[in-house]
Amino acid sequence: MPAPDLPAVFVLNGPNLNLLGTREPDIYGSDTLDDIAGRLEDRARELDLAIDMRQSNHEGHLVDWLHEAQASGAKAVLLNAGAFTHTSVALHDAIKAIRTPVIEVHLSNPHAREAFRHKSYVGMAARGTIAGFGAESYLLALEAAAGL
Digit-coded pLDDT (tens) for 98-133: 999 999 999 988 776 777 677 899 999 999 999 999
Every domain of the chain and the residues it spans:
8-146
Confidence of residue 30 (pLDDT cuts 50, 70, 90): confident
pLDDT for 4 equals: 62
> What is the second-level CATH architecture of the domain 8-146?
3-Layer(aba) Sandwich (3.40)
Q: How large is the average pLDDT for residues 85-98?
A: 97
Q: How large is the average pLDDT for residues 12-24?
A: 89
- CA-nearest of 15, 14, 12, 107 to 66 is 12
Distance CA(80)–CA(126), nearest Å, equals: 11
pLDDT for 97 equals: 98
Distance CA(111)–CA(119), nearest Å, equals: 8
Name the pTM for this structure: 0.91
Contact 79/122 with Cβ under 8 angstroms?
A: yes
Residue 67 has pLDDT above 70, yes or no: yes
**Active site amino acids:** 28, 106
Contact 91/59 with Cβ under 8 angstroms?
A: yes
